Amino acid sequence: MLELRRIVCPVDFSEFSVSAYCYALSLARQYRAKLFVQHIVELGRHPSAYYAPSAESFDAFCRTLSEKGREQLQEFVKQYTHDEIEPECVVQQGETSYAILSYAEAQKADMIVMGTHGRRGFDRLMLGSATERVIRKASCPVLVVRKPAHDFIGLGQKEDFVQLGRILFCTDFSEYSQRALDPAISLTEAYKGELTLLHVLEDIPSPSETVEARATAMEQLDKLIPPEKRKTVRMKTEVRIGKPYQQIIQHALENQTDMVIMAVHGRGALDLAVFGSTTYRVIQLGPCPVLAVQA
């Protein structure tokens, strides 16, 4: 089962980071986990630093950036932390994805929670490169909040407004996808929600085979439910027909899903390069946060 003892949440002070931070706080509370809040100062966003007249000037400029980042991070945490949780704050310089991955590895993080947003028009079709690298290379699950969270998040309030009432676990019955089931069950238990196990049938040879294929898939889904959880966790199964990412997104929209949980495994190098896998497309286009579990 999912064990959350250490959570890393990178922030850049955007509204997307605020939403991600709310999820990180909620998870830390539910699992009594230690929360690490990280801000990365990228010198690449300050090209004037490289024109400093001396090494001393360059070092002073870097220190100033870090000090400013530290002040902003402390103010961010003070503004949005609304309970007894005391996050550990860290400010680092470097390339964003590398800094996140190395820090999470050093802290032996059980989950990374991050917001992502596009700074360019074509980020509607592709996630940011930093997010891509973190999802692909992290050794722990990554919760991605692609856009500001649902209205049920009340920032600065004492109550926990992150409620995962409806969780959607998606499977293609591969060994990879099964690894995301334990986290799905654990989160459903922690938030006392309802878990839907979904499989999407694709490329059915003929309409006459649809009934049989659907029945077989329903039977496979039912076998995935651990016997000891049948009476303690609210779970249901569903089979849909069509393009997997489209049907997953449609299901999430129709049922007001609060979180989608999927495994990450590309079918080939090209899929990974252009985010062609089902998981990446759901992250790009879906209506709610996605927990990507590495295969």
Give the structural domain span for 17: 6-145
DSSP 116: -
**1: buried, middle or exposed (CB in 10 Å: 19+, 13-18, 0-12)?**
exposed
**What single string gives the DSSP state of each residue in 45-105?**
G-GGGGG-SSHHHHHHHHHHHHHHHHHHHHHHHHHH--SS--PEEEEEES-HHHHHHHHHH
Supply 76's token pair.
Answer: 């961010």
Whether residue 136 is found in the same domain as residue 200 = no
Q: What is the pLDDT of residue 181?
A: 96
Sheet architecture: strand order including 88-93: 88-93, 34-41, 6-10, 111-115, 142-145, 290-294, 259-264, 166-170, 194-201, 234-241
Please tell me the total count of domains within the chain. 2
**Do 123 and 60 share a structural domain?**
yes
In contact, 127 and 284? CB cutoff 8 Å: yes
What is the DSSP-derived secondary structure letter of residue 202? -
Q: Is 91 in contact with 5 (CB distance < 8 Å)? A: no
Last residue of a domain, one of 145, 176, 204: 145
Residue 109 lies in a domain: yes
Other C-beta atoms lying within 10 Å of the C-beta of residue 28: 24
Residues 134 and 11 in one domain: yes
In a domain, 274, yes or no: yes
Same domain, 20 and 128: yes
160, part of any domain: no
Task: List, in order, residues 6 or more apart from 238 with CB less than 8 Å away.
Answer: 196, 197, 198, 199, 221, 251
Question: Do 192 and 105 fall within a single domain?
Answer: no
Whether 94 and 223 share a structural domain: no
Is there a single domain that holds both residue 68 and residue 117?
yes
Dist CA 37 CA 246 (whole Å): 34
Helices (H) and strands (E) in the chain, counts: 10, 10
Signed CA dihedral, 231, 234, 240, 246: sign only: negative
**Any idea what the CATH number is for the domain that residue 74 is in?**
3.40.50.620
**Whether the Cβ atoms of residue 64 and residue 33 lie closer than 8 Å to each other:** no
Distance of alpha carbon 201 from alpha carbon 166, whole angstroms? 22
Mark whether 125 and 12 lie in a shared domain: yes
| Tally of CB atoms within 10 A around 33 | 19
Q: Are 76 and 88 in contact (CB under 8 A)?
A: no
Q: Do 67 and 141 fall into the same domain?
A: yes
As to burial, measured by CB atoms within 10 angstroms (0-12 exposed, 13-18 middle, 19+ buried), residue 119 is exposed
Integer-rounded Cα Rg, in Å, for the chain is: 20
Which pLDDT does position 44 carry in this prediction?
Answer: 59
User: Does the residue 158 lie in any domain?
Assistant: no
Tell me: do 132 and 174 sit in the same domain: no
Residue ranges, the chain, pLDDT below 50: 118-127, 149-156, 266-276
Q: Which helix (H) or strand (E) holds 250?
A: helix 244-254
Strands 290-294, 142-145: parallel, antiparallel or unpaired by DSSP? antiparallel
Question: Do 72 and 37 meet the contact criterion of CB atoms below 8 Å apart?
Answer: no
140, 224: one domain: no
